[in-house]
Amino acid sequence: MKTLNDFNFKNKKALIRVDFNVPLNDEFQVTDDTRIQAAKPTIIKILEDGGSCVLMSHLGRPKGKEDQFSLRHIADKVSEVIGVQVKFVNDCIGEEVAEAVDNLKAGEILLLENLRFYEEEKNGDVAFAEQLSQWGDVYVNDAFGTAHREHASTAIIAQFFPENKCFGSLLATEIESIDKVLNNSEKPVTAILGGAKVSSKIGIVENIIEKVDHIIIGGGMTFTFIKALGGTIGNSLVEDDKLQLALDILKLAEEKDTKIHLPVDALIADAFSNDANTQTVDTYEIPDGWMGLDVGPETSDNFAQVIAESKTILWNGPLGVFELENFSKGTIELGNAITEATANGAFSLVGGGDSVAAVKQFGFGEKVSYVSTGGGAMLEMLEGKTLPGIEAVLK
């Protein structure tokens, strides 16, 4: 795996695919700069070597050249985060870009306009990728968030850099973190899978079941398992077409000697609301008209015990409807157990959409070993898929 350390960027132009798909408010101000911060180490290393950076990214899902999706809006934020005044050019291909790239000096940064202003980007157009490839001596992919897409700038472009291509430090760290959990892990390994549905996590379960020692199940998908096992689940979330699948997973786990831990009690509510009446009951005995929205205290204790004994921890998905305060306790207690295990020397990786939101909301981000920056990309890696953006750089 080639990384930045395999190159000296002195007097070289690095063409870096970053993921600056950041949220903006109504005044086009960046409301969360995590993704820009995440690209900083790569940019700084290249500048410190004596090179220059041409940054390319997408922003949102524009239909053609829509100004609200212009990367111009974020140029000041990038300058502030990196500490270097960033130059911006109104296009990502063509004459104007050629001139701006030509004039770029060592130590300077040029930000190109939104790649998705051209539909060729998402279509993975080879000619478009070739035009982009002119803007750098070395291609650096540091966009983990889009590594699962076979787009012009994320994968197709790599063929125009037969030798001079590598992973940026963010992407390299993401790859190493997942590898540390799934392939080079210190045992026991525990995966916590929460969130809404079994169907969206089944690919992960199938891929990790042989690699981990414990799988903790929480969130809405709990109830598909409980129903399949003969419990009464009231009005809880359920996927009736996945009952057999749930049983198959439990059977496979038994064959592979992987322990699956299901919640033994649930905090149930008579409505999907913070104002609902609540009570804690046995997960297998949820009355009609009530739904499980969080794990109960006995479950939290059980899960904490498993986590305390784990050396490697993967967390994907909340244990309850954490967005509603009254149903966030199980997720918070899980976060506490993971951070405590981390403080005691375990390696913990958090990734995939909502668990990252939960980790940020409750302030666990600094206390776990690594928080992944890619939702879909992370899920696909956990499913054991080879991501096009990674494969293209390895070729």
Query: Residue with the closest Cβ to ligand AMP?
Result: 195
Q: Using the rule CB under 6 A, is 323 a contact of ligand AMP? A: yes
Residue 360 CA to its chain's centroid (Å) = 13
For the question of residue 227 being annotated catalytic, the response is no
* Nearest by Cα to 172 from 39, 312, 83, 57: 39
Residue with tokens 């540390």: 180
The torsion angle over the Cα atoms of residues 225, 229, 230 and 234, rounded to 10 degrees, is -10
Among 98, 106, 196, 271, binds ligand AMP (CB under 6 A): 196
In the chain the first and final C-alpha atoms are separated, in Å, by 10
Give the list of residues 6+ apart from residue 146 with CB closer than 8 angstroms, or none: 17, 19, 21, 58, 154, 377, 389
What single DSSP character describes residue 313? E
Among 237, 262, 269, 332, binds ligand AMP (CB under 6 A): 237
- Pick 12 or 385: Cβ nearer ligand AMP: 385
Distance from C-alpha of 296 to C-alpha of 298, rounded to nearest angstrom: 6
Give least dist CB 200 to ligand AMP, A.
5
- Pick 246 or 393: Cβ nearer ligand AMP: 246
Distance from C-alpha of 162 to C-alpha of 146, rounded to nearest angstrom: 21
- Pick 14 or 358: Cβ nearer ligand AMP: 358
- Pick 12 or 261: Cβ nearer ligand AMP: 261
For the question of residue 375 being annotated catalytic, the response is no
Distance from C-alpha of 156 to C-alpha of 395, rounded to nearest angstrom: 11
Q: Name the one range near ligand AMP by CB under 6 A: 76-84, 110-118, 120-128, 196-204.
A: 196-204
- Pick 174 or 354: Cβ nearer ligand AMP: 354
- Considering 231, 292, 330, 353, which one is annotated as catalytic? 353
For the question of residue 187 being annotated catalytic, the response is no
Q: Using the rule CB under 6 A, is 317 a contact of ligand AMP? A: yes
What's the longest Cα–Cα distance across the chain? 70
How, if at all, do strands 312-316 and 291-295 pair? unpaired
Among 101, 171, 267, 321, binds ligand AMP (CB under 6 A): 321
Would you tell me which residues interact with ligand AMP (CB under 6 A)?
195-197, 200, 219-220, 237, 292-293, 317-318, 320-321, 323, 353-354
Positions marked active-site = 35, 197, 353, 376
